[in-house]
Structure 1
Amino acid sequence: AILCAYICHKFLAPIKSLSSIEQFSIEEFFSLVQQFFSTFAHFNWSADALRLYPKSYKPKTLVGRSLAHNRGSMRIISPSAPFNNTGRSTINSTRDLISEGLERVLQLLTTINTITSEDKWNALKQILELSHEFPSEKVKSILRLTLSSENGQELDEWIGWTKSRLGHFLNDCEEECHLSIQTQNSIEYRSNNIEGFYAIGFQLDPQSLNRNRKFFDCLKKFLNQFNLCPNRTDSMKISQDVISVHDWKLERTQPKPQRLRK
């Protein structure tokens, strides 16, 4: 939302009245979309912070402000909470994937016709139809987490506990192990909803990842967190394995019980 506001603030002409919004053309909207992707695909996220300040805003000097502003790999600064930095929890791997996605859309827009209004509508439709690629071409191994329980309600609680601990594990993998990561967008459920599967991609091959002591120290620390779940029952189990991307894709082509994504 902050990125959209930045583009509108910078490139959108002032709106004179509410009635003028109804006359907003597809050409004007498409121009803003182009500006969005061209601006942020080329933005130097690793070195610069994006700042959205109204002209009348005067930044205040507060203790700890610099720490909050410098936190995260995509520093998106605005006058509003939380901590004036909406991207403070972004890790390098996520930033790189976002940048690749922005660049992917920009490349699409340079290869298709966008002359007529119909062309622009079709271009917007193609942007929306771009799929999230998991695993990406750079990923060589998959850490697969399998969560199970005796009923769907327990499984949802188990998955919620996993998600609450996952961020720390990913940060440890990046900061302590210096690994590049790609996470799956969704949990996959078996059709009976008593098993859930979640995949995390790494750019190391399985052999190198299995030999990485720091990685397994971080993984052990992550798995130990599941013993602290206050509502864990005997039926709530978790297992993990590291497999190659080839094996992961091959496994998914085999006939198995139906999986649902949520």
Structure 2
Amino acid sequence: MERLLVHVRSPPIFQHLLTYIRTWAQHNGLYGQVYGYLSGYAWAILCAHICHKYLSSIKSLLSIEEFSIDEFFSLVKHFFATFAQFNWSTDEFSLYPKSHDRISSSEKRLVYQRGSMRILSPSPPFHNAARSTKKSTRDLIIQGFQRVVQLLDSIETITIEDKLNGLEQIIKLNKNFPNEKMKSIVQFTISSENTNELDSWIGWIKSRLSFFFSDCEETCHYTFQSQNAIEYQSNKNEARYAIAFHVQSTTLQQCPQFTICLQKLSDQVNSFSNRTPSMKFDHKIMSIDNWKLEQMKHSNR
């Protein structure tokens, strides 16, 4: 992190930009390493690049109070324009490309083996900070960048008032779960007899999700959209988590490979060493319409 702060020119302005971008990512369901998205550190690396490239030496001396809306809007616009057009499917992103060139080919292979996006840590051994990403979540992140670029292209951004409005509209963009391409939902219900047990149970289940995501893509060749939060229910002893898929619910139900993937996840979850008899993990495959109907019933309780 120290090398990151040296790179950003102005830590206060960098922190302000990072807070804004993280808020946007959370609102759009694109934040959270355990759910296949980017970690806070990966977002920080991207923000550091923007500050280093577009924040002049003179501007970097300003306090956050002196830094204008116009200048902040410019950083935000550069952020989304830069990463919406970056070739994430083939290229690696590094703050120090020349330093990365010095690492061995075997170390580079390790970087490429994990993660569908490659955002390299600025310090040796240059680990991939985006190693949790899958093809499905990478594409959702790219679409999120592009969505903001399209928004800014569609509104006036001339005056300070325009730019303030633009910044507010970006933050107000909310996640679209499930999006229009998804046709089915696998909903997991997680329960236990008390909240402490449930928290421990959920923590373990989170650590297993990445393996399931990989199986869905590599074994079944399915595109998915994962929620970026496990939602606690009103009784506090139960939580729910949903993953949307681009195929119909009947396809999921009839696919032998997917059944094996679900069973594999269940076996991994139930291998938790601290599991008690009250810890339950169940799943239900349903259509988008049925899932939305069930969500409405729960929200009206």
Q: How does 1:74-89 map to 2 (within 5 A)?
A: 74-80=117-123, 83-89=126-132
Shift of 1:206: 0.4
The CA distance in 2 between the partners of 1:43 and 1:172, in whole Å, is 27
Aligned twin of 2:5: none
Partner of 2:31: none
Unaligned runs of 5+ in 2: 1-43
Q: Residues 256 and 136 from structure 1, CA distance in 2 versus in 1: closer, same or farther, beyond 3 angstroms?
A: closer
Please give the alpha-carbon distance, in whole angstroms, between the structure 1 residues aligned to 2:246 and 2:200. Answer: 30
Q: What CA RMSD, in Å, does the superposition of the two structures yield over aligned residues?
A: 2.1
Give the structure 1 partner of residue 67 of structure 2.
Answer: 24
1:156 to 189, 199, 205: 199
Match of 1:222 in 2: 265
Aligned pairs for 1:104-183 (under 5 A) are 104-183=147-226
- CA distance in 2 between counterparts of 1:255 and 1:159 reads 20
From the two aligned structures, give the one with the greater helix fraction: 2
**Cα pair 2:225 2:243 within 8 Å, conserved:** yes
Cα 1:87–1:226 change in 2 (3 A) is: closer
Which residue does the alignment assign to 1:35?
Answer: 78
Q: Which residue of 2 aligns with 1:212?
A: 255
Relative to structure 1, the CA distance from residue 257 to residue 223 in structure 2 (aligned partners, 3 Å threshold; closer, same or farther) is farther
Judge conservation of contact 2:189–2:282 (CA < 8 Å) in 1: yes
The letter for the 2-side match of 1:66 is: K
CA contact (8 A) 1:206 1:243 kept: yes
Question: Which is further off, 123-132 or 5-14?
Answer: 5-14
For 2:292, the equivalent position in structure 1 comes to 249
Residues 173-201 of structure 1, C-alpha deviation per residue, up to 9 Å, x if partnerless? 11111111111122222212011111011
Change (3 A) 1:147 1:20: closer
Residues of 2 paired with 1:61 and 1:255: CA distance? Answer: 52
Larger Rg: 1
Equivalent position of 2:110 in the other structure: 68
**Is structure 2 residue 146 aligned with structure 1 residue 103?**
yes
Shift of 1:110: 1.1
Deviation, 1:77, is 2.5
Structure 2 counterpart of 1:67, one-letter code: R
- The aligned amino acid for 2:143 is E
CA gap 1:218/1:191 in 2 versus in 1, 3 angstroms: same
AA aligned opposite 1:244: S
Task: Give the drift of 1:13.
Answer: 1.4
Structure 2: distance between partners of 1:203 and 1:157: 31
Q: Is the 8 A contact 1:68 1:83 kept in 2?
A: no
Match for 1:92 among 135, 138, 142?
135
Matched length: 257
SS of the equivalent of 1:64 reads helix
Go from structure 1 to structure 2 and tell me whether the alpha carbon gap of 1:172 and 1:127 turns closer, same or farther (over 3 Å shift): same
For 2:262, the aligned partner's letter is L
Q: Report the TM-score when normalising by structure 1.
A: 0.90
State the TM-score, normalized to the length of structure 2. 0.79
CA contact (8 A) 1:191 1:257 kept: no
Q: What amino acid maps onto 1:31 in structure 2?
A: S
Q: Distance in 1 between matches of 2:256 and 2:112?
A: 30
Q: In 2, Cα distance between the equivalents of 1:60 and 1:108?
A: 40
Alpha-carbon spacing, 1:120–1:217, altered in 2? closer, same or farther (3 Å): same
Following superposition, the deviation at residue 63 of structure 1 comes to 5.9
The residue type equivalent to 2:109 in the other structure is: L
